[in-house]
Chain A
């Protein structure tokens, strides 16, 4: 468990920033992202559409709250949940032998593969650090240790 407050702040800014960025590039092209989701061949046209509309905003909102430090545990929970989902999705896709673009960072994303899994695992580690930081640490007023 990491108790170093400046380090936790850096983790929050990096992870939140990545999520806001990933969300923004998808928000500008919802139909393109919908096609990316459809290409995973797990859900139909309607669910792909709904996910493409909501998911980018979930990334932006959770990322922004994490950066702002408001409801940071809730935001970290959303982000770690999403990352676990992305990792499972990528592994399942690889196991099925599908050659799809991951859709992670908008229209020019890489192919779904080990690179994506390792990247997600790295982000997951940051998210878990934020999520597991002792609550007492957060509430300690500045200057008192």
Chain B
């Protein structure tokens, strides 16, 4: 057998082995997929009992009522360019530093609305997950994010988070 063919056969065998291991390890997940789950979204509500996706109208209502803490999960530079007024900046990438601070400052029952850029951004879900694991009980995620808020012409604020 030539060296090239031997290499190719090894690579194919490694690929086959990976498929087998993946199928064995993720069997429960694969079964759920086969039953029709994850066809619309990979976000599993049952895994996050306190986390809910909300619409822009709900977010606006909560914001106007003023009793909800808004958290902007985007990086600091994007936050500074424009954000929901009174929202705190908690970049998802630095959630490990910020979440413990929030846990100390806010009661676990405090309703939170988390958002990121919008569209398919995932950082709000990452942050929501960390907040959920940190003990917060009422976390809502604005799916449309900052893009949707801005497009709707709702109030904006610029500048860094001062705290």
B126 touches A49 (CB 8 A): no
Q: Known contacts A54-B18, A58-B18, A108-B126: does B10 contact A31 (CB below 8 Å)?
A: no
Contact yes or no, A74 B122, CB < 8 A: no
A107 CA / B9 CA spacing, docked (Å): 33
**Cβ B120 vs Cβ A100 within 8 A:** yes
Q: Across the interface, do A57 and B18 meet the contact criterion of CB distance under 8 Å?
A: yes
With a cutoff of 8 Å between Cβ atoms, the chain B residues found around residue A32 in the complex are 42, 122, 126
Which of A5-13, A75-83, A112-120 makes up part of the contact surface? A75-83
Decide yes or no: A53 and B38 within 8 Å by CB, A31-B44, A108-B126 being known contacts: no
- CB–CB B21/A39 < 8 A: no
Mask for A39-59, Cβ within 8 A of B = 1, else 0? Answer: 101000110110001101110
Contact A99 B25 (CB under 8 A): no
Candidates B9, B15, B92; contact of A58 at CB < 8 Å: B15
User: Is B19 in contact with A54, judged by CB distance below 8 angstroms?
Assistant: yes
* A61 CB-CB contact with B under 8 Å: yes
B154 on the A face (CB < 8 A) = no
- Say yes or no for B3: interface residue by CB 8 A criterion: yes
**Range for the number of chain B residues in contact with chain A:** 35 or more
> Which B residues lie within 8 Å of A57 (CB)?
18-19, 21-22, 25
Q: Give chain A's interface residue range (CB within 8 Å of chain B).
A: 35 or more
Q: CB < 8 Å: which of A31, A54, A77, A131 contacts B22? A: A54
A71 to B42, CA, bound (A): 36
Which of B26-34, B57-65, B103-111 faces chain A?
B26-34
Q: Are A53 and B92 in contact (CB under 8 A)?
A: no
Question: Do B18 and A74 touch (CB < 8 A)?
Answer: no
Give the residues in chain B near A135, CB-CB below 8 Å: 3
- Given the complex of chains A and B, what is the CA–CA distance between A34 and B29 in angstroms? 12
Instruction: Evaluate contact between B11 and A61: CB separation under 8 angstroms.
Output: no
**CB 8 Å contact bits of A5-39 with B (1 = contact, 0 = none):** 00000000000000000000001001110111011
Other A-B contacts than A71-B10, A73-B7, A74-B6, 13 sampled, CB-CB below 8 A, are A35-B42, A36-B122, A39-B122, A45-B38, A53-B23, A54-B22, A58-B18, A61-B14, A73-B3, A74-B11, A101-B122, A107-B122, A108-B92
For the complex of A and B, list the 9 residue pairs with the smallest distance between their C-beta atoms, beginning with the closest: A74-B10, A58-B18, A71-B10, A57-B22, A73-B7, A77-B11, A57-B18, A31-B42, A74-B11
**Which residues of A are at the interface with B, using a C-beta cutoff of 8 A?**
27, 30-32, 34-36, 38-39, 41, 45-46, 48-49, 53-54, 56-58, 60-62, 65, 71, 73-75, 77-78, 81, 99-101, 107-108, 131, 135
Instruction: List residues of B whose CB falls within 8 A of some A CB.
Output: 3, 6-15, 17-19, 21-23, 25-26, 29-30, 33, 38-40, 42-44, 92-93, 117, 120, 122-123, 125-126
